[in-house]
Structure 1
Amino acid sequence: MSVLIEMVSDLVCPWCWLGMRRLNEAIALIGDEFPVEVIYRPYQLDPTVPREGMPYKEYMAAKFGGAGDSEKSEQKDRFSAMRQMLEQYGEAEGIPFKFSGIEVRPNTLDAHRLLRWAQGQNLGYGMKEALFHAYFTDHRDIGDKDVLADIGASIGMDRNLLIDLLSRDADLENVMREEAAYRQMGISGVPTYIANRKVAVQGAEEAEKLAKFLRTAANEYPLESAQFS
């Protein structure tokens, strides 16, 4: 009895960082009951963001309405309340969200490529943590190839190799094809957790609820094959 979790998420999604931490807590709650493997799958919340990224404030103003701080709207108020709630949730999970200093809204396609390569070296969790921290805490542009290479090097990857791969289209089609497959499945929000390719749950649920989901998957939706790519 085992569970394979495919976590579909984006690297500029604060709920995804929260969800990853909570999933890890859920796995700890499972303990030795059964093995759980996690594979991180790509998703872009907004694939229309240009590859070079765009100014964060400009992007958020267009998305949530209002061009200036003095202009109020119900949508902007909801967004502000959500950010405050995320910061509170983050505190409880040891996540240092610092939204106010973000300068660039990046395109995350290259960051997903980097994560794909890190997973091939069993560095997936460390890479996601590093990317989330770089964006939400250090306010780095995780769409910039040099920044991505530096992040990779910080967790033990070969920086020169990463620069070479990022400067080409290595695995670009694979990542885009993979993301498209999840959109075709009907996934429109992240994080989404798919267990044993049979059952899914969406949202940054509490660790206890995710542990229950893992146990249900293990008991009612058994893993049919250990061969996943």
Structure 2
Amino acid sequence: MSSKILKSPILRFFRGKVIMAESASNTASKKLIQIDVSSDSVCPWCFVGKKNLDKAIEASKDQYNFEIRWRPFFLDPSAPKEGVSKKEFYLQKYGNRYQGMFARMSEVFKGLGLEFDTAGLTGNSLDSHRLIHYTGKQAPEKQHTLVEELFIGYFTQGKFIGDREFLVETANKVGIEGAEEFLSDPNNGVTEVKEELAKYSKNITGVPNYTINGKVKLSGAQPPETFQSAFKAASA
């Protein structure tokens, strides 16, 4: 076929239609993997688990379509709403063991190409869960990205998870509208977070925790290969 014919607008359009049809067919033929992730925004292993999950999804995207929903969990429901020093908080909670814990997490984060920031404040994570829930309702396709940005801010940039300004900036960064107005009322989303906590996280004692297609369960920051095996089992 000559180059003149290949450049024909009609054939370019026709070929484009064929390509799109094949793409739609390939998408329709993929099995759906639905993942409910119980997590706390101040849980470093939840961030590690997300990174490993993302690797597994990237390696499996030609086989499956994915829907991921983040569900609330509170490592410490009694954590103060006002910010307190991370080091002071963990010293009180774990004693001098916290230094070894921080050193371990620093090494794990280095393996992910990240720097674990032990500075800054920690505290109650309710507002972050309210925002995650709000995003899941307003723009569910952006919820996974929002969680990533919350983790990055808190664990690598010394941001306080209860800081309203940080939460709103993060929402704006990923294109979530109305977050500032939603968060300005401290009652917005609280009932829904409690309902999700009871429905998805009531019977677990630690996070991250994953339920895949409602039947395969994993806990902990599993390696990508374990997630891939779980995808296969859940889609069988």
Normalised by the shorter chain, which TM-score bucket? Answer: 0.7 to 0.9
Following superposition, which runs of at least 4 residues in structure 1 exceed 3 angstroms of deviation? Answer: 79-82
Matched residue pairs, number?
A: 203
Which position in structure 2 is the counterpart of 1:172? 190
Query: Would the aligned equivalents of 1:22 and 1:204 in 2 still touch at CA under 8 Å?
Result: yes
Which position in structure 2 is the counterpart of 1:82? 101
Query: 2 CA distance for matches of 1:175 and 1:32?
Result: 33
- The structure 1 residue matched to 2:61, chosen from 31, 40, 43, is 31
Q: Which runs of 5 or more residues in structure 2 are unaligned?
A: 1-30
Structure 1 residues 85 and 29, CA gap change in structure 2 (3 angstroms) = same
Secondary structure of the structure 1 residue equivalent to 2:70: strand
Higher normalized contact order (CA 8 Å, seq sep 6+, divided by chain length): 1
Query: Would the aligned equivalents of 1:18 and 1:95 in 2 still touch at CA under 8 Å?
Result: no
Corresponding letter in the other structure for 1:96: E
Which position in structure 1 is the counterpart of 2:169? 150
Q: Which runs of 5 or more residues in structure 1 are unaligned?
A: 66-72, 220-229
Percent identity over the alignment is 32
Query: 2 CA distance for matches of 1:134 and 1:97?
Result: 11
Structure 1 residues 17 and 172, CA gap change in structure 2 (3 angstroms) = same
Aligned-residue Cα RMSD (Å) equals: 1.7
Query: 2 CA distance for matches of 1:146 and 1:30?
Result: 36
Q: CA deviation at 1:43?
A: 0.9
Which position in structure 1 is the counterpart of 2:225? 208
TM-score using structure 1 length: 0.82
Which position in structure 2 is the counterpart of 1:70? none
TM-score using structure 2 length: 0.80
Q: CA deviation at 1:157?
A: 2.5
The structure with the larger Rg is 2
Superposed CA offset, 1:26-78 (max 9, x none): 1122232222221111111111112224332321111112xxxxxxx5xx1xx
Query: 2 CA distance for matches of 1:181 and 1:81?
Result: 34
Query: Would the aligned equivalents of 2:38 and 2:71 in 1 still touch at CA under 8 Å?
Result: yes
Q: CA deviation at 1:80?
A: 3.2
